A and B are shown apart, each in its own frame.
Chain A
Amino acid sequence: MTRLVVLDNEAVQALQDPAHPKHRHVVSHAQVVASRKRRAVAIQVVVPTTVRVEAGWDRTSPAWVFPNRLRIADSPLDTASANIAASIRNHTGVSVADSHIGAVIQSAHDDQITVVTSDPVDMRLVAGDKDITVAAI
């Protein structure tokens, strides 16, 4: 069984900023992932690259050292993802970053997909028919 955890804009911002009111909450998610990885659970955390842009996550900036070290992989907006994201945006009117999250969800082949988000309604909208778990922050 493989698990995918997708971060939205606010989850990323909360993770980066120790003064953010939701910092400890999102760090808790990261800690659970780390502990499960240690127990050989197949779990991966990803951030869609447009979410990274929206959140201002520049991997070369010293301000982002902590998130950079947490093994959070980029999920790029390649041609196929851009097509899916564009379709989602056309149908729902959500932001580019949320559309990209939808594309990541709809393209994923993992057994369980969890989105850490401050906007559960939009995440369920962009997920379409895909069954997802929403971790609301």
Chain B
Amino acid sequence: MEAPAVIERIGELLDGSELGTSNTSMRIPTALRDAAALAVRELGIAPSATALTTAALRATLEAVVMQAALDEHYEQYPQARPDLGDLAIAAAELDGHPLAGQPERLRQAAAEIARNHPEASSDDVLLWAEARALPAA
């Protein structure tokens, strides 16, 4: 299957309203299973370990599909690919961060951090810009 068809199909499956369930023979590390059971029982983070596993799997698949769709879009429209500065501004806007209103400061911070940390994330840039905005002690 081509990537677009795979993205499409996974999306359809995630959207599916089918309530049927399946037993699986999936093997997971015993310690992980026990940790999940303990978290469910003692911390109440989900109704059951199965619900916890299902939610985590769904969230991961949604992230993967979304990124695959974006990557395909960037391939088709390279000018649509945001740079680190764009992402830092978008992250600040989504969070209502005080620096959201200072895009040039965020672009400057992105340029600085990218020099030494090419894999930096938008949240790294926000943190760096925030630190730079603090008055020197």
Contacts and interface: CB of A to CB of B under 8 A. Distances in A.
Interface residues of B, number: 34
Contacts of A68: 11
Given A69-B7, A69-B66, A28 B87 contact: yes
Contacts of A31: 70, 82, 87, 90
B66 A30 contact: yes
Interface string B95-131: 1100010000000000000000000011000000000
Given A27-B73, A28-B82, A38 B89 contact: no
A32 B94 contact: yes
B80 interface: yes
B122 A35 contact: yes
Contacts of B14: 71
Interface string B33-44: 000000000000
Interface residues of A, number: 31
19 contacts: A23-B80, A24-B79, A24-B81, A25-B90, A27-B73, A27-B81, A29-B90, A29-B93, A31-B87, A34-B67, A35-B67, A37-B62, A37-B63, A40-B60, A42-B59, A69-B69, A71-B14, A114-B94, A133-B95
Q: Closest 5 CB pairs between A and B?
A: A133-B96, A69-B69, A28-B90, A135-B93, A37-B63
